[in-house]
Amino acid sequence: MATLFGSGIKRREDPRLITGSGTFTDDIKLPGLTFAAMVRSPYAHATIRKIDTAAAAQAPGVIAVITGKDIAGKVGPVPCAFNVPNCDLKLPPHPALATNKVRYVGDAVAMIVATSRAAARDAVDLVDVDYDPLPATVDPEKAVQPGTAQLHDEVPGNVAFTWHVAGGDADQAFAQAAVKVSLRIVQQRLLPTAMEPRSAVASYNKATGQLTLWATSQNPHIHRFLTSVTLGLPEHKIRVISPDVGGGFGSKIPGYADEFLVAYAAMTLGRSVKWTEDRSENYTVTTHGRDHVEYVEMCGTGDGTITGLRTKIHAGLGAYASTAAPGVPTILHGLMYSGAYTIPNVKGTVIGAYTNTTPVDAYRGAGRPEATYLIERLVDCYARRIGMDPALVRRKNLIPADKMPYTVATGITYDSGDYHAALDKAMELIDYRGFRERQEKARKDGHYLGIGVSSYTEICGLGPSQVAGQIGFGGGLYESAIVRVYPTGMVRAYIGTRPHGQGEETTFAQIVADEFGVPIENVEIVAGDTESTPQGWGTYGSRTTAVGGAALKNAAVKVKEKAKKLAAHLLEANEADLEWHDGKFQVKGSPAQAKAFGELALMANVAWNMPAGMEPGLEASAFFDPTNFVFPYGTHIATVDVDLETGEVTVLRYVCVDDCGPHINPMIVEGQVHGGVIQGVGEALQEIAVYSDDGQLMTGTMMDYAVPKASQMPTIESHFTYTPTPVNPLGVKGIGEAGTIGSVPCIVNAVVDALAPLGITHIDKPLTPARVWAAIQQAKGGAR
Amino acid sequence: MKRSIALSVNGVSHSVEVEPRALLAQVLRDDLNLTGTHIGCDTSQCGACTIHLNGRATKSCTVLAVQAEGAEITTIEGLAKNGALHPLQNAFWEKHGLQCGFCTPGMIMSAADLLASNGSPSDEQIRHAIEGNLCRCTGYQNIVAAIKSAASA
């Protein structure tokens, strides 16, 4: 039987999704279902004088109006679960429903439960909240200046934390350096925009005390844990089901007030309750991404050796610290300051700020795109300063393959990789030298072409649980799986992660089917229901396959080991004399004496003839806790044409060479690259969440927030190198976020490269025509 | 005050009591249990709710249910005929034209409309035709490939 590992077979998720037969959370219907709607603050910052719910309570169809007073002592504050150490992190309480003060537009003050969606929505308008507006602060840099509006009494100056990272001696490196370059970079706030809005449905059985919560979750076990903590309900009485999930990109990691409130309402009202946000609500309440103002600098020799990097980062957290928020601009960002290079001296300070905006949390890449972007922009500035081609500077500073595993200045150890091979391949594919010649010629004709390179490495496959404890992550980072073989040889495998578009129902079945030599149709992967699946920590940080896939592989190996012992017993042979061939254990040298996997499954399950001391059944569970993170890497190169009259950027070619180890399903890997790159192109060229100074989200609908459309986006030429990691038994790394990490700097570098003859060294993303045009005008004006 | 409307969905006649303000998308999902039609925005941008209304691709969130009185509607659930997937459904499956699958029903319904009027569209024509359907997962590349492949099927 041909091996399935490495085969781009069609996805098993698809038949239900292409026929409208998937089950997303809002599709769940229960007898007597009621509907919730939230009353949200229209002010970014205000004192609540009074909440009058009388009119709403009497409105047709309304069952209950619940305010912060009603839930006092019953629904705990919304928890933050990433308590980053050594940074004086301040976590002020985040009430599920505000009682005294609202801190961002969208902060909830009351919940309506009614017999229909429309009735609930109508009643929202009848809740009379008397607000006393306060001055607001929305910018992470300005928020920590003296005299700015204060959000939390417990947090003087709005400083949530001040985190430091250092390796080597950056100050000395800068003092001695021949060349220094610096930039002020704004990494704009982004709206994750999973196509499926968040939703929660709760049902409670008063007699058994059992709560069932369907939720749009990337990590149902974390949601079970957080629900238990917040509602004071025993964890074993909570079942969280995350059915089909329509994308997450980080925004469905956190525990939100909405889910806890829906569960609370179901418990107290004795009715099942559904809440689904609309898109405007999603944009104002569901977590945002990025939001950095950065002062960054790089130093090096005159001939292209980078010797140091220093940063000072203002990171916006929004009004409250969301579940994983403090870890994103610190651990997942600052530890990556060496990037793909041998930069020996780094030093960074990250100042987290509370602002009157929607909470910011993980968004595809979570901290690593921000790190890669600032490094890759600085490399280009440095290269230009010393008059060396940016690709050559990269080649000179990339970590050499023979130095792997390599410990960077921040102390983490990259597992494996040949970074030069990816760079060289990408340069060859895009004909780097040829393009430089064409660019030179085009410039003489007044035509502005640019080429941008980005060499990245990222930390993913999160990660060793011991490290999770050290960095303040409020959970483990192992994964687990149960493989259960039925009497007929059919297999169900239960996993702790929750894929939501990444295709592991397929790739994981490939792993199991290979191990047992059975057709993939005989294997079913089960995820998303805490009732049946073992403890897991979820799908994020490109960890599902590297950690969860490894757990599954190990569980399958355990099953097979037991099957082998059983086969030896049935064949009256020594285990050592058996070999696995084509789905059966056979005696070496006499293949007629064999037991097929299906025969062993039947015998193990009926247990008529087992070896002495062997338990009946054929199943195993495994927990896999990796010894290190994994570090996928690659080089992306884009060529662009910039219209000097309009500022419009056209991407001519986009070539990427990524290395995530061997591919279980190449078709799915490439799909992840496509999606990730386009999300990054969106960030580079058009996406930005804008707040007015008084804290109104100006990009509050899809009419205003520029999600990439098919007609705007380039075609991607996706290529790979294949370097297995020694960290897990599959050799796989992660590919979910690589595209987003690699793409943003390469597009911006290409545009700046195109405009270099005008003396332009940096333009803040997104590079909309208006911004590019303004930069061109300014440069021209300066030249006059 | 609810009103009674009659409409045909996927070849089946229905009579439904609807609020005058109810959107067709909501009635399909909530009253007729056709939850394959998804709602991803509130400004008619995302296209997840695209269905065929009297043969043309229509965002069912922009139509009041009462406006669909007497209409012939096809949703994603009605696209496969006699147990055989529509060529577009097959092509999306073959070409990995979906990841999370939330935008997929609307995307396929829009693509079906395109192919009804243009049997061999260029990449550019395809990208233009699905401009009103947002996908956050695939980067569109395999969607374009799928539609192209369905056109030549």
What ranges do the domains of chain B cover? 3-78, 87-151
Question: Scanning every residue of chain B, which has its alpha carbon at the shortest distance from the alpha carbon of A498?
Answer: B100
Identify all chain B residues contacting A29, using CB atoms and an 8 Å cutoff. 33
3-class SS of residue B113? helix
CB contact B24 to A (< 8 Å): no
Q: Do B92 and A18 touch (CB under 8 A)?
A: yes
Q: Is the pLDDT of residue B35 over 50?
A: yes
Q: Do A501 and B94 touch (CB under 8 A)?
A: no
Q: Which domains does chain A have, with CATH numbers?
A: 31-134+205-246+257-272 (3.90.1170.50), 289-462+628-783 (3.30.365.10), 478-624 (3.30.365.10)
Q: What pLDDT score does A1 carry?
A: 61
Q: Determine the residue among A13, A17, A281, A737 to mutate to test chain B binding: the one whose Cβ has the most chain B Cβ atoms within 10 Å.
A: A17
Confidence of residue A709 (pLDDT cuts 50, 70, 90): very high
A463-494 residue pLDDT tens: 899 999 999 999 999 999 999 999 999 999 99
B82-119 residue pLDDT tens: 989 999 999 999 999 999 999 999 999 999 999 999 99
Identify all chain B residues contacting A118, using CB atoms and an 8 Å cutoff. 19, 21-22
Phi, psi of B138 (to 5 degrees): -90, -15
From start to end of B10-142, where are the E strands? 12-18, 50-53, 56-59, 72-74
Q: What pLDDT score does A784 carry?
A: 44
Identify all chain B residues contacting A701, using CB atoms and an 8 Å cutoff. 41-43, 45
Q: Determine the residue among A18, A19, A193 to mutate to test chain B binding: the one whose Cβ has the most chain B Cβ atoms within 10 Å.
A: A18
d(CA A93, CA A41): 18
Q: Is the pLDDT of residue A364 over 80?
A: yes
Mean pLDDT, chain A, rounded, equals 97
Question: Scanning every residue of chain A, which has its alpha carbon at the shortest distance from the alpha carbon of B135?
Answer: A195
d(CA A69, CA A95): 11
Reported residue count of chain B is 153
| CA distance readout (Å), A483 to A162, A523, A616 | 45, 10, 15
B87-151: CATH homologous superfamily? [2Fe-2S]-binding domain (1.10.150.120)
Least Cα separation, residue B68 to chain A (angstroms): 20
Question: Scanning every residue of chain A, which has its alpha carbon at the shortest distance from the alpha carbon of B145?
Answer: A715
Identify all chain A residues contacting B112, using CB atoms and an 8 Å cutoff. none
Confidence of residue A48 (pLDDT cuts 50, 70, 90): very high
d(CA A312, CA A299): 15
Q: Do B102 and A246 touch (CB under 8 A)?
A: yes
Average pLDDT estimate for A490-516: 97
Average pLDDT estimate for A356-373: 98
Average pLDDT estimate for A690-701: 98
Count the helices and strands in chain A (H runs, E runs): 20, 28
Identify all chain A residues contacting B37, using CB atoms and an 8 Å cutoff. 20
What single-letter amino acid sits at A14?
D
Strand partners, A132: A47
Q: Which of residues 95-114 of B touch A (CB under 8 A)?
A: 96, 98-105, 108
Helix (H) or strand (E) run with residue A203 in it: strand A199-205
Q: Is the pLDDT of residue B11 over 70?
A: yes
Confidence of residue A513 (pLDDT cuts 50, 70, 90): very high
CATH topology for the B3-78 domain: Ubiquitin-like (UB roll) (3.10.20)
Q: What pLDDT score does A211 carry?
A: 98
Percentage of chain A modeled with pLDDT above 70: 99
Average pLDDT estimate for A734-740: 97
Count Cβ–Cβ pairs < 8 Å, chain A vs chain B: 178
Q: Do B36 and A10 touch (CB under 8 A)?
A: no
Q: Determine the residue among B2, B41, B50 to mutate to test chain A binding: the one whose Cβ has the most chain A Cβ atoms within 10 Å.
A: B41
Measure CB to CB from residue B77 to each of A20, A195, A249 and give the nearest one.
A20
d(CA A751, CA A397): 23
From start to end of A393-529, where are the E strands? 406-407, 413-414, 448-457, 479-485, 491-495, 523-526
Identify all chain A residues contacting B121, using CB atoms and an 8 Å cutoff. none
CB contact B148 to A (< 8 Å): no
